[in-house]
Amino acid sequence: MNLQLALILLGVATFAGIVLLSFLQKRGASSEWLERSRSSVQTFLQRIPWGNIAAGLRPKKLAQRVRQKEPSLVSSGDLDLAGDNRESETEDEPFVGGLPHDEGSKKPAAGTAHGLPSEIGKQPLKIDYWARLPGTVPVSRDAALAVFREYEIDLQRPRALHGRTQPGNAWLDLATAPADEVFSDLIVSLQMADRDGAVTESELTRFNNLTYYMSETLNRSLQFDMTIEEALPEAERLSRFCQEFDLLAVIHIEPAPGKGFSGPEVARALDRAGMRLGKDDMFHLYDPRTGESRFSLANRSETGNFSYDELESGMLRGLVLFLNVPTVPRPSQTFSDLISVATYLSTEVDGVLVDPQGEILADAQFDSIARQIRSLESSMKRYGIDPGSEEANRLF
C-alpha cells in the first residue's frame, strides 16, 4: 500500500468516526462515553506524524525547483555583458513562448504582452510612412537627391528615396543607383518604428514638409499613403511588435571560482570553432553564403570587446555568447549551432555554461530556451515578418 492510499483510508476512517459519534449523540448515548471517545480520537490524530507524511509526499527538492527560474530569453536592452548585476536580479516571471510577462521591465514591451497577440490576423504591419511623387518628365538621380538631402537632416528615423527608372521601370534606391539613371516616379519613405520606439507626430510633420518641398521644387504631384492621424496608431502597433520580439538568447561561459581564461587558449579555441574577430571587436560566426553574423561572442566586460593584448597574453573574466533571435534566418537551428559552439568552447577552456543569472545550464534548460525561440519564430511569421528577413533586420 503506498503512502497516498494510506492517507486516503485514514481520512475515510476519521470521517466515519466523527459521523458515528454524532449518530450516537443523537440516539442519546451517555455524555461520559462520548467524551471518552472524542478524547481518544483527538489523541490518535495528534500522534500522527503529519510533518513526516507531508515531507514524504513532497517531490524531492521541490522548493529548490520552484525557486529556480526557468531560463529565458533576454531583452536586448537588458543585456549585461559584464554580468555584475546578477545579485540584484528580481524573481520575475519567466518568459513564456518568447514573450516577456515582467511588469517591471525597463522596456515598455512587458506592459503590452497581453495586447499585441490580439492583433494577429489584422492587416499586415506597416513599416514605412511614405509619399509618392509621380511625374511625366524624368528627373535625374542627382537632382532628386540634392533636394532630398537638403531636408532629410531634420529627420531622425531611417528614411529613403526610391525611384522608378526610365526606361526599365525598375525601382531603385537613389542613394545607391548609378549616377546616370533618370526616374519617372519617386517615393519618399520614413520608417515608423524600431526597437527604440515609435515615430512622433512632430517628425511626421517634418517629413511632410520635406515631401512638400520636393513636390514644389521638382514640379511633381504628391500622394500620401495615409494621413498623420492614420499613421500614428500604425507606428504604435509596429513599436509594440518591435518591443515584444527584441529578444536575445544569452549563454555565459564562466571559469572556475577565483580563476580566469587564458587569452591565447580562448583565441585558439575560437579559431577552431570557426569564429572570427569582427564588428565591435567581438567574435562572430559568419554565414559563409551571406557574410552576415549568425551569433556573437563577447568578452565579459562593460564594453564586451576583446583587445589584442588580452588575446595574446592576458586573462579573461568570462565569455558571453548571444544570438539576436529576430535578425537571423531559422533562429532555432542557429541556436542549436550556438549550443554546439558553447559546449565545445567550455570543454576547451575548462569552463561552465550558465545563464545570465548564474544558474548552471544543462540539456533541459537548453530545451526550454529552444522552445521559446521556436514560439517566437512562429509568432513573428503570423505577423507577416520572417526572422532574418530584410524587414526584420530593419526593425531590429
Residue 352, domain CATH: 3.30.1400.10
Q: What is the mean pLDDT of residues 125-154?
A: 95
Residue 388 in this model has a pLDDT that exceeds 70? yes
Q: What is the mean pLDDT of residues 222-248?
A: 97
Residues 309, 391 within the same domain: yes
Last residue of a domain, one of 194, 225, 241: 241
Residues 197, 288 within the same domain: no
3-state secondary structure of 286: strand
Q: What DSSP character marks residue 77?
A: G
Q: Any idea which of 55-64, 283-292, 341-350 has the lowest mean pLDDT?
A: 55-64
* pLDDT for position 82: 84
Q: What is the mean pLDDT of residues 73-82?
A: 90
CA 307 centroid distance within chain: 29
Average pLDDT, the chain: 84
Q: Cell triple for residue 42?
A: 483527538
Give the domain range for residue 256.
Answer: 246-395
Looking at per-residue pLDDT, the higher value among 230 and 17 belongs to 230
* pLDDT for position 46: 65
Contact 333, 356 (CB under 8 A): no
Q: Any idea which of 26-35, 78-87, 360-369 has the lowest mean pLDDT?
A: 26-35
Q: What is the mean pLDDT of residues 48-75?
A: 58
Whether pTM exceeds 0.75: no
Residues 221, 346 within the same domain: no
Residues 258, 343 within the same domain: yes
Residues 235, 268 within the same domain: no
Residues 376, 291 within the same domain: yes
Q: What are the pLDDT digits (tens) for 201-215? A: 999 999 999 999 999
Q: What is the mean pLDDT of residues 80-89?
A: 69
**Cβ within 8 Å of residue 248, ≥6 positions away:** 73, 74, 75, 76, 79, 322, 323, 324, 325
Residues 137, 222 within the same domain: yes
Q: What is the mean pLDDT of residues 354-374?
A: 95
Please report the beta strands in the chain, taking only residues with DSSP state E, as ranges in sequence order. 74-75, 128-133, 139-140, 159-165, 171-173, 182-191, 193-194, 197-198, 223-224, 247-254, 261-262, 276-277, 283-286, 293-299, 315-316, 319-324, 352-354
Q: What is the mean pLDDT of residues 59-84?
A: 69
Residue 12 in this model has a pLDDT that exceeds 80? no
As to burial, measured by CB atoms within 10 angstroms (0-12 exposed, 13-18 middle, 19+ buried), residue 219 is exposed
* pLDDT for position 109: 37
Q: What is the mean pLDDT of residues 151-180?
A: 95
Last residue of a domain, one of 226, 241, 256: 241
Is residue 144 situated within a structural domain? yes
Q: How confident is the model at residue 39 (pLDDT cuts 50, 70, 90)?
A: low
Residues 166, 150 within the same domain: yes
Q: Tell me how far apart the alpha carbons of residues 387 and 380 are, in angstroms, rounded to a whole number.
A: 7
CA 66 centroid distance within chain: 23
Residues 228, 250 within the same domain: no
How far from 45 is each of 65, 173, 256, CA to CA, in Å? 32, 84, 52
Residues 319, 340 within the same domain: yes
* pLDDT for position 47: 65
Contact 322, 79 (CB under 8 A): yes
Residue 319 in this model has a pLDDT that exceeds 50? yes
Residue 280 in this model has a pLDDT that exceeds 90? yes
Contact 128, 192 (CB under 8 A): yes
Q: What is the mean pLDDT of residues 272-287?
A: 97
Is residue 152 situated within a structural domain? yes
Residues 236, 251 within the same domain: no
Q: Tell me how far apart the alpha carbons of residues 204 and 157 are, in angstroms, rounded to a whole number.
A: 10
Q: What are the pLDDT digits (tens) for 321-347? A: 999 999 999 999 999 999 999 999 999
Residues 290, 177 within the same domain: no
Contact 157, 203 (CB under 8 A): yes
Q: Tell me how far apart the alpha carbons of residues 375 and 99 are, in angstroms, rounded to a whole number.
A: 9
Angle, CA 144 vertex, CA 179 and CA 150 arms, to 5°: 115
* pLDDT for position 110: 36
Q: Tell me how far apart the alpha carbons of residues 377 and 325 are, in angstroms, rounded to a whole number.
A: 8
Provide the number of structural domains found in the chain. Answer: 3
Last residue of a domain, one of 241, 273, 301: 241
Q: Tell me how far apart the alpha carbons of residues 369 and 392 are, in angstroms, rounded to a whole number.
A: 21
Positive or negative, the Cα torsion across 80, 82, 86, 89?
A: negative
Residue 147 in this model has a pLDDT that exceeds 90? yes
Is residue 22 situated within a structural domain? yes
**Cβ within 8 Å of residue 389, ≥6 positions away:** 329
